[in-house]
Amino acid sequence: MSCLQTLSTFVKDCEANVGGLKKIVLGLFDGITAKTLDGAGNQLATFTLDENYNVYAFPFKKGQASLASSPQFNDAGEYTGEQITLEVNFTRQDTSKRASIAGLSVNDLFAFVKDNNGKWWYIGFDAPLTRTGGDSTTGSNASDTNAYGVSLSNQEKGLPYGVAPAIVEALELETT
């Protein structure tokens, strides 16, 4: 049986390419009522959240959040999808952040992430994100970061999907 995925070329992009994340918007996975991909299967085209659920925005300073995708293979060497990991640092420990992190630790989540190039990505199409690690540290020197570190991970069938502008607008991701 042949693979339905095709290869295509792309034009070299000469714009600046900046790493890191600018914003993460999280919500409870069980609040999703519908989601679909575009015809090519590369972009989240529709997304509906139950009216009783909210999304929660977490903006970040440079160097405080990242998104990584690692290909996964079974014992036969066949591609099985991607391990997706969000690594975030919530600087300055306080009780409200502590309470939010406790919520991140026990809930199944989805995420919209905005990278520092202005692109939105969606994680949670195939499976919810869960907290899989992280730590809190005060550091030992004045120049050390005082922060809560949180790792959220899931297994997807592919790389994170782009997000249609209509979804960004409907969920008010830019203003949330």
Using CA atoms, how far apart are residues 111 and 162, in angstroms rounded to an integer? Answer: 12
CB 92 within 8 A of CB 101: no
| 41-57: pLDDT as tens digits | 999 999 999 999 999 99
What stretch of H or E contains 170?
helix 165-170
Q: What is the mean pLDDT of residues 144-161?
A: 93
Res. 16: pLDDT tops 90: no
Closest CA to 93 of 29, 30, 147, 57: 147
User: Within a 13 Å sphere around the CA of 169, how many CA atoms are in the beta-carbon half?
Assistant: 4
**93, two tokens:** 């420990």
| pTM passes above 0.85 | yes
| 22-79: pLDDT as tens digits | 999 999 999 999 999 999 999 999 999 999 999 999 888 888 999 999 999 999 999 9
